[in-house]
Amino acid sequence: MNTEFSQARIKKDKNFDGTFLFGVKTTGIFCRPSCPSPVAKEENVIYFNTIFEAIEKGFRPCYRCRPDVDVEYYNGNIHGASVVNTALGKIYDGYLTYNAIQDLAEELQLSDRHLRKLFVDHLGVPPIKIARYHKSLFAKKLLLFSDQSVTDISFASGFGSIRQFNEVFKEVFGKTPTMVREDSKSKKSSQDNTTLLLKYKKPFIFGQILSFMKPRAMKGMEVITENSYARTFRTDRTKGFFVVKDNPERSALELRISCDDIKCYMEIHNRVRRMFDLDTDFTVINEKFAKDKQLVQGMVEGHVPRLPIAFDPFEFVVRAILGQQISVKAATTLAARVARQAAIETDNSFPRGLDHFFPMPSELMKLDLGGLGVTRTRQATIKTAAKGILDRDLQLTANQSFDKFSKDFSKLKGIGEWTVNYVAMGGLGMLDSFPASDLGVIKALAKEGTPPSKKEMIKMAEEWRPYRSYATLCLWNRNVSA
């Protein structure tokens, strides 16, 4: 028995939601720790690290606490398993909708047998089953929170047919998709609700994130108002735009997607969750930083700022290179010029201000960057980075060690320490990156106008591991608040 989990379950401690789940043997139902149902006897309880484990054991989600809808499972309890985390990220983004498990294994440079063993060892469930469960979980959110047809939802969730959708969905939830849709109709408010809800834990200050993003928004590709964020996007198979607004009453962001292939919903949903840093557990970080005299000044109401992560990592790489030794405003202007130069335009169905898409690496390689105000050196560095990504010498994923990313990225001519750390932090979402040469960081750590040495800053930052990216945000925020 896990004493900590048991006490959290008995106390219905919301702080443990997302940390573990528990099933009740006598009912066959699994719940989150804070479930309002009567407390079950310990001898009738079994604990799970992931939602997939619970489903695999034959338990079905509780209809009171809705662990399959109201608690996100993207972080899970998977530690020290970078390959599994990388594979999970691809599965969550719908990779197996278009590809076979053999393709996933090959991309990870493994045999499909070895990949299956890793999943079973770390999660207790093979990857094919996790993909099926994940598609069902995503479909349920669409059934509850959108007005799309059951047929459209089946394809948006990656199922190959309505028959397959019905069979798998009923196996997981004990109800057909149509039954869940009928249940949801009686619970919906009278207002139009065609959006996806991205749940978050409070406090969540949407305005603070928008304030951070606004000076970095690229004209023609992003539009930020007082209460919304919108941008264009392209994936390997689709293009479109999305709009994000806050719904504090439901503790969720409202995401509205418009694209030419409904199967993009899963990937965009997950990328936007990462973009607004909705899945980080801030409990330990807040406690740690609140005791630090330097960092506490950059916290807001006892909470560290969330880490805005780029929707498109390659786009962020280009912006970081353009931003070397110049202001955020100047770098943003140059990046917008690059996008306009590529001239990959949207059509008339897009809202005003969302006029074009950012070029992909292959497109940027063919682009003439002359006459945009970008130095020849930086033009060359941008092309070198694009080639490195195309040649797979550089991987733009957070599921690798910082040391590996730093080593690979630093090999490219024109890439220095600041760019490596800046991209790791804002482009990939690595939590322990520290751009010691950043002017904002230096200014925040200066004493009576005298900046510390680089050695002193690095030593100071050791105390902030393994969350130095959030420490950097606190230092930046401290400058803004000063």
Query: CATH code at 210?
Result: 3.30.310.20
Shared domain for 239 and 340, answered yes or no, is no
Look at residue 134 and tell me if it is in a domain.
Answer: no
Residue type, 328: V
Look at residue 176 and tell me if it is in a domain.
Answer: no
pTM above 0.75, yes or no: yes
Question: Domain of 38: which CATH number?
Answer: 3.40.10.10
Shared domain for 264 and 342, answered yes or no, is no
pLDDT band for position 93 (cuts 50, 70, 90):
confident
Look at residue 43 and tell me if it is in a domain.
Answer: yes
Question: Domain of 406: which CATH number?
Answer: 1.10.340.30
Shared domain for 234 and 374, answered yes or no, is no
Can you tell me the mean pLDDT for 312-317? Answer: 96
Can you tell me the mean pLDDT for 223-248? Answer: 94
Q: Cα separations (Å) of 369 from 318, 334, 339, 356, 425?
A: 12, 10, 10, 17, 26
Residue type, 462: E
Residue 111: CB atoms within 10 Å: 12
Shared domain for 334 and 260, answered yes or no, is no
User: Which among 267, 264, 68, 262 is positioned nearest to 153, based on CA atoms?
Assistant: 262
Shared domain for 459 and 385, answered yes or no, is yes
Residue bearing the bigger pLDDT, 184 or 247: 247
5-60 residue pLDDT tens: 999 999 998 878 878 899 999 999 999 999 999 999 999 999 998 888 999 999 99
Shared domain for 475 and 391, answered yes or no, is yes
Residue 194: CB atoms within 10 Å: 11
**Residue 437 contacts by C-beta under 8 Å, 6 or more apart in sequence?**
417, 418, 454
Question: The domain containing residue 238 runs over which residues?
Answer: 196-278
Backbone dihedral region for residue 52 (phi beyond 0: left; psi -120 to 50: alpha; all else: beta): alpha
pLDDT band for position 80 (cuts 50, 70, 90):
very low
Which of 61, 79, 97 marks a domain boundary?
Answer: 61
Which of 61, 76, 106 marks a domain boundary?
Answer: 61
Asked whether the predicted pLDDT for residue 482 surpasses 50, the reply is no
Give the end-to-end CA distance of the chain in Å, rounded to a whole number: 49
Can you tell me the mean pLDDT for 122-127? Answer: 87
Can you tell me the mean pLDDT for 217-242? Answer: 94
292-308 residue pLDDT tens: 999 999 998 889 999 99
413-461 residue pLDDT tens: 999 999 999 999 999 999 999 999 999 999 999 988 899 999 999 999 9
Averaged pLDDT of the chain = 89
Shared domain for 271 and 344, answered yes or no, is no
352-362 residue pLDDT tens: 999 999 999 99
How many domains does the chain fold into?
A: 3
Which of 27, 61, 95 marks a domain boundary?
Answer: 61
Give yes or no for a contact between 168 and 221, defined as CB atoms under 8 angstroms apart: no
3-state secondary structure of 221: coil
Asked whether the predicted pLDDT for residue 75 surpasses 70, the reply is no
* Predicted pLDDT of residue 55: 92
Shared domain for 426 and 357, answered yes or no, is yes
* Predicted pLDDT of residue 194: 54
Give yes or no for a contact between 265 and 196, defined as CB atoms under 8 angstroms apart: yes
Look at residue 202 and tell me if it is in a domain.
Answer: yes
User: Which among 116, 93, 54, 404 is positioned nearest to 233, based on CA atoms?
Assistant: 93
172-211 residue pLDDT tens: 888 899 998 887 665 544 334 457 888 888 889 999 999 9
Look at residue 288 and tell me if it is in a domain.
Answer: no
